[in-house]
Amino acid sequence: MVKKILIANRGEIAIRVMRACREMGIASVAVYSEADREALFAKYADEAYCIGPPPATASYLNIQKLIEAAKESRADAIHPGYGFLAENPAFALACEKEGIRFIGPSSEVLELMGEKVRARRKMIQAGVPVVPGTDECVAEFRQARDIAKEIGYPVIIKPSGGGGGIGLTIVANEGELANALKSTQAIATTTFGLCEVYIEKYLSNPRHIEFQILGDSKGNTIHLGERECSIQRRHQKLIEESPSVAVNPAMRAKMGETAAKAARFVGYEGAGTMEFLFSDGRFYFLEVNARIQVEHPVTEMVTGIDIVKEQIRIASGLPLSISQEEVEINGWSIECRINAEDPLDDFAPSPGKLKDYRSPGGTGVRVDSGVYTHYSIPPFYDPMISKLVSWGKDRNEAIERMRRALYEYVIVGVKTNIPFHLAVMENPRYVAGELETGFIDKETGLLDDIKRIVEQGDSLVEKLPQPLSEKKKIAAIAAVAAITQMQRR
């Protein structure tokens, strides 16, 4: 087993990894930017090193600094978390060259999965169903025109170097194709440094369903069932759950086996996710996420498997601690991403000081967070406060527990998206399990529901004694001064 892990990340995921380290008797090393000196993850670790100024490019994305910190602390492994350098082949290669174990797939596998058109070709070879489209990059208009004619409009043009949704262009008919191709190639070049694009049939309003996979160095690859991540806004997931109402046990077994087989085919070592679109009862492969994901807890809640511990075992050269036959899906789990943002102002970020903070608890509730009372959320990074996760014996109980936990959550000082989550948890279509990627755009009543929930203010926050706000304080002082003056007269 590795002995000391440097966590090349921040916030809740850094703490999530350190918690696994603590349980396993492995030492943890935090690296933090100057903006994160007071962050919980920097205190939680056994050791901590400042690696530079606030901008991520000067700190969390600086490979040289991270390798130096690993050498200085004598860490024998690096966990990259999600985002930042998690899927960066150059970072994995730098670790490999220094003899530091990168907790994730090899740099070669990362490179393959990072080029979406290559990954797509590989998955076709492995027998995975893909969306009808090209298995080569498309450079010329005439090529694009022939392919689009063959698969039929609407089509979608995607940058091969992308992922996660940046630069996608939906094309309704041949008249739009030439401009769409040019502009997607331009975005691909400026954003990813790779002009290559590919074309797929566009599926309207699919569900986003992904399978969690684990592969070890002994050739064991298994799946831990699926997650449904259809509730997203501008390609940012907000609510995820496991299992999915759209998947029955037979489909789960078949798709899970396909996902695990594909992972084995590319020599995948580590935890990973195979993303699919689900439309008209069929799965279509989209891309592989070669990292631990934000939403991994819902899978942990229904399988009882600690995915981060499995990642650490795999990187240490040990076999998986469970076989496919031992994996059972028990109950239902939902995750709400609690962000410091204003749902009534187009979800604008709302960083700042948490004047008061109390997280929910009780049966079937898990909170993964990197904050504490009086902590200031810095403006430089993503404004996630926590991941609130519920578990229940069935979907209904998981929803009821989530509503109850959202009611208990006390966050004072910044705006949060809790009212949005409450609105979704009482939305009839959500409750009925009618999810699709267009859910938020289609449910035009959500905004009014959020307004009503904010105005009602039916939460534990209002019932607790709180320090007077600055405005109220000034008004109270003015009132006392006025009364005193009146009495003098």
Query: Least distance from C-beta 275 to ligand MV4, angstroms?
Result: 6
Active site residue 74: no
By C-alpha distance, which of 227, 201, 200, 196 is closest to 213?
A: 227
Residue 273 backbone dihedrals phi, psi, to 5 degrees? -130, 135
Strands 236-242 and 270-279: unpaired
Query: Least distance from C-beta 166 to ligand MV4, angstroms?
Result: 9
DSSP H or E run through 338:
strand 332-339
Which residue, 168 or 344, is less far from ligand MV4 as judged by CB? 168
d(CA 91, CA 103): 11
d(CA 267, CA 264): 5
DSSP H or E run through 124:
helix 116-125
Q: Is residue 344 a contact partner of residue 451, using CB atoms and an 8 Å limit?
A: yes
3-state secondary structure (DSSP) of residue 327? coil
Query: Least distance from C-beta 206 to ligand MV4, angstroms?
Result: 6
Query: Least distance from C-beta 136 to ligand MV4, angstroms?
Result: 16
Full DSSP string of 194-256: ---EEEEEPPSS-EEEEEEEEE-TTS-EEEEEEEEEEEEETTEEEEEEES-TT--HHHHHHHH
By C-alpha distance, which of 458, 455, 424 is closest to 240?
A: 424
Q: What is the DSSP letter of 100?
A: P
Query: Least distance from C-beta 204 to ligand MV4, angstroms?
Result: 7
Which residue, 236 or 363, is less far from ligand MV4 as judged by CB? 236
Write the CB contacts of 248 (distance below 8 Å, at least 6 apart in sequence).
Answer: none
Residues that bind ligand MV4 (CB under 6 A): 131, 156, 164-165, 168, 200-203, 206, 235, 277, 286-287, 437
Interior angle at CA 311, CA 307 and CA 314, nearest 5: 135
Which residue, 166 or 367, is less far from ligand MV4 as judged by CB? 166
Cα 437 to its chain centre, rounded Å, is 15
d(CA 260, CA 207): 21
Which residue, 133 or 270, is less far from ligand MV4 as judged by CB? 133
Which residue, 205 or 373, is less far from ligand MV4 as judged by CB? 205
Catalytic residue among 10, 16, 101, 291: 291
Which residue, 162 or 378, is less far from ligand MV4 as judged by CB? 162
Which residue, 36 or 295, is less far from ligand MV4 as judged by CB? 295
Amino acid at 204: S
Query: Least distance from C-beta 312 to ligand MV4, angstroms?
Result: 28
Query: Least distance from C-beta 12 to ligand MV4, angstroms?
Result: 23
Active site residues: 291
